[in-house]
A = this chain, B = another copy of it.
Amino acid sequence: MQGLMMQLPLLISGLIAHADRNHGDITIVSRLAEDPHGPLHRTTWRETHRRARQLANALAHLSVRQGDRVATLAWNTHRHLELYYAVAGSGAVCHTVNPRLFDDQIAWILAHADAQVLFFDATFADIVARIAHKLPQVTHFVQMTGREHLPAKFPRELLAYEDLVHRHSEHYAWPQLDENTASSLCYTSGTTGNPKGVLYSHRSTVLHAYACALPDSFGICARDTVMPVVPMYHVNAWGLPYIAALTGARLVLPGPLLDGASLHRLIVDEGVSFSNGVPTVWAGLLQHLAQQGGGLGRLRRLAIGGSACPPAMAESFARHGVEVLRTWGMTELSPIGTVNVPRADEATLAPERREVQGLTQGRPLPGVELAILDDDGQALPHDGESFGELVVRAPWSLRQYYGREEGDGFTADGWFRTGDVATIDAGGYMHITDRAKDVIKSGGEWISSIELENILASHPAVAEAAAVAVPHPKWDERPLMAVVLKPGAGLDRNAMRAFYDGKIAHWWLPDDLVVVDEIPHTATGKINKLALRERFRTYRWQSQPVTVTQPR
């Protein structure tokens, strides 16, 4: 028997309509991509909704039909926000592309997705000009500025965003789509290989927004001022553009300026209370504060994920009165899977238990199911000790990659295989020890590269550290640390090993370190292990080997 409740689809257009009706006059602040150092642009939810409707009419005029891919190469700005709602709201697919990828990768992704219209910030006009000849399927190029900013020369016909908006009526009724309609498309970071496409739906996006706004997730309410520092070109800025509309929060969009000083100014001037980002971005902010001084204004919570947040980073923010929410997510998961917040029994936990829990990636959002599997695909116990490949199910998890075969990346019974290696404890706390591909296999046993990196990151001489598996004659692989030192600081092998001593099992001790000028990062700010492994593939271990005594 079916219930007798209204069959209203969960739609992205419903979010912006809700914000308009109930928070219409609430401010959205944005840096302009074409003039990042100029005055901040200020608009409202009502105005954003109005311009999104104009844009929806414009898209129809450009012959964009339901299901068509409309691509963006753009920063976090009010125009990108309008596109999010206009494209998905009208039934097309908002295909965000990471402009920090190489030209070839961008062209490949746009071709793979068969994008028909490409919107881009003035900042990226050069990239688009260079690859335009590889994009025969793109019928319209739109620069996200007024007409006066269009480049003098461009290889294809070029439209101005503001013209499109102004030429069209604000009268537009959002279609009542099936909630499983595709809404947006994003490719993974390409950290471990070629980027893979994830095709979100309206339903998955809206459910993810509800779950992420919960008190034990990001905990966002109408009194928050939310600044997405995670780019809108990557996994929808973790859903913050939707969550802000759902909750009626103020929104601050930082545009292209993501350096410590620029973020600091926005946080303080605009009273940002919540933000999110990968550890490397926040390292920049902390460095700025260390050098220039200053506080963090009304900032209270910071969701950090994408890579493991080093404990030292969370401690620094705590000293500024900011709580770090450790978050684990994946493009495939919309992206949020877990957030680290305390449970009901927190007050009665033993301090060391609380500390261990505090360093994990947290508990699954309601709706997310996690399991860990051994090499034979058998479920491992949730005892905080056993580790294996993390698999996941959720209404906001993909069930198939875009343009790939069904089953590719999934268990036989349909769980998504994350490629991450993790433990789960009895309280549901999940701890990532590594990516399966980054794990260091010494004498058949696994060493966690993340743990090695986190420890060394807290050494006073170290600015950044990466653990790399390097082939070893006796143990197959042994850990080598690539280290960027702080200005004027020094660190050698023995001092490093002494620092590790007592903090980890003896046989985990990295055998050596190499001081480097810079650790390579991917386009989404993660340590590029592929590049590091390649660089150190032929590393010659010191003639005098380290004594390793492994269990078993």
Q: Which residues of B contact A220 (CB under 8 A)?
A: 215
Chain B residues closer than 8 Å to A214, beta-carbon distance: 210, 213-215, 221, 247
A215 pairs with B247, CB closer than 8 A: yes
Per-position contact with B for A1-34: 1 when CB-CB < 8 Å, else 0?
A: 1111111101000110010011111110000000
Q: Does A329 count as interface, using CB distance less than 8 angstroms?
A: no
Interface residues of A (CB under 8 A from B): 1-8, 10, 14-15, 18, 21-27, 66-67, 93, 178, 180-183, 198-204, 207, 210-211, 213-216, 219-225, 246-250, 334, 341-346, 363-364, 366-367, 369, 382, 393-402, 414, 416, 426-428
Each complex incorporates copies of this chain amounting to 2
Nearest B residue to A21, CB-CB: B428
* In the complex, chain B residues whose CB is within 8 Å of the CB of A345: 25-26
Provide 5 A-B residue pairs closer than 8 Å at the C-beta atoms, listed in order of the A residue.
A18-B367, A21-B382, A21-B428, A22-B363, A247-B366
Please report the C-alpha to C-alpha distance between residue A213 and residue B6 in the assembled complex, in whole angstroms. Answer: 21
A3 touches B201 (CB 8 A): yes
- Ranked 7 nearest A-B pairs via Cβ: A3-B201, A22-B428, A1-B67, A215-B221, A5-B204, A4-B199, A3-B182
Residue in B24, B221, B334, B414 whose beta carbon sits within 8 Å of that of A426 in the complex: B24
Q: Is A4 touching B198 in the complex (CB atoms < 8 A)? A: yes
Q: Complex: how many Å from CA A369 to CA B19?
A: 11
Q: Indicate whether A25 sits within 8 Å of B426 (C-beta atoms), given known contacts A18-B366, A67-B1.
A: yes
Residues on B with beta carbons closer than 8 Å to the beta carbon of A14: 367
Q: Is the CB of B366 within 8 A of A4?
A: no
On chain B, the residues within 8 Å of A414 by CB distance are 6
Q: A182 with B2: in contact, given A221-B341, A248-B344, A395-B10 (CB under 8 Å)?
A: yes
16 more CB-based (< 8 A) A-B contacts, given A8-B393, A215-B221, A250-B344 = A1-B66, A3-B180, A3-B202, A5-B180, A5-B334, A6-B396, A6-B416, A15-B366, A23-B343, A23-B427, A214-B215, A215-B215, A215-B247, A216-B221, A222-B344, A223-B344
